[in-house]
Amino acid sequence: MHAEPKVKPSGAALIDPAKEAMLLAALYIAQEQRGYLTPEVIDRVAARLGLTAGQVFSTASFYTLFRTKPVGRYVIQVCSGVSCYLVDGAEKVSDYIGAKLGIRPGETTADGRFTLETVQCLASCGTAPALRVNDQLYENLTPAGIDAILDRLLGEV
């Protein structure tokens, strides 16, 4: 019989699971402070939680709500789901807004005020069409309703 070889614990074995479980919450806090996750922010979160920057970036990049690029002050997210599509939402709404703001989905206005995005189902299918501006949900959209939302946001900035 020969002795089992001694295995040095790998890096992963040293991770504190309780700290790792804080990662999503930490990324939310960091993103709230900076607007998006800069390489420095990723490094700092990694150091605080005892993870590698690669690990933090890998996890952050999996989730669509974490951003590694700056976005406009108002992020308009138009639902492109099937229920919204059926009731004249989806592209009809994003095209309408895009024409008004002069941008296409994925773009930000030159003044950095608005970013337009299309997203998956917002769980508002019964009150479709739906969109969200930052953390505010708007449902049962009509052209007049969209105009009112944009006018209000334009007035606010």
Partner 1 sequence: MTTWQPVLLANVNRPNSEKITTYLAHGGYEALRKTLKMSPDQVIAEVKASGLRGRGGAGFPTGAKWGFIPKDAPVKYLAVNTDEGEPGTFKDRLIVERDPHAILEGVIIASYAVGAHRAFVYIRGEFFLGVKRWIKAIADAYQYGFLGKNILESGFDLDVSLHRGAGAYICGEETAMIESLEGKRGEPRLKPPYPAQAGIWGQPTVVQNCETLVNIPHIIGRGAAWFASIGTEQSRGPKIFCVSGHVNRPGNYELPLGTPLREIIYEHAGGVRMGRSVKAVIPGGASTPFLTADKLDVPMAFETLAAAGSALGTGAVVVMDETTDMVEVARRVMSFYVHESCGRCVPCRLGGHNMLHELDIIASGQGKRANLARLEALTRGIPGITFCPLGTGMCEPVASGLKLFRSEFEERVS
CA distance 89 to 18: 43
Binder to ligand FES among 124, 138, 141, 150 (CB under 6 A)?
124
Interface pattern 61-100 for partner 1 (x via CB under 8 A): -xxxxx-------------xxxx-xxx--x----------
CA-nearest of 58, 59, 132 to 94 is 132
Q: Are 114 and 100 in contact (CB under 8 A)?
A: no
In the block, residue with structure tokens 């804080």: 22
Q: Are 122 and 137 in contact (CB under 8 A)?
A: yes
Nearer CB in complex with partner 1: 108/124: 124
- Tokens representing 66 are 């974490």
Shortest reach from residue 94's CB to ligand FES, in Å: 12
Interface with partner 1 (CB under 8 A):
17, 20-25, 27-28, 58-59, 62-66, 80-83, 85-87, 90, 120-128, 132, 135-137
Interface with ligand FES (CB under 6 A):
79, 81-84, 121-125, 128, 130
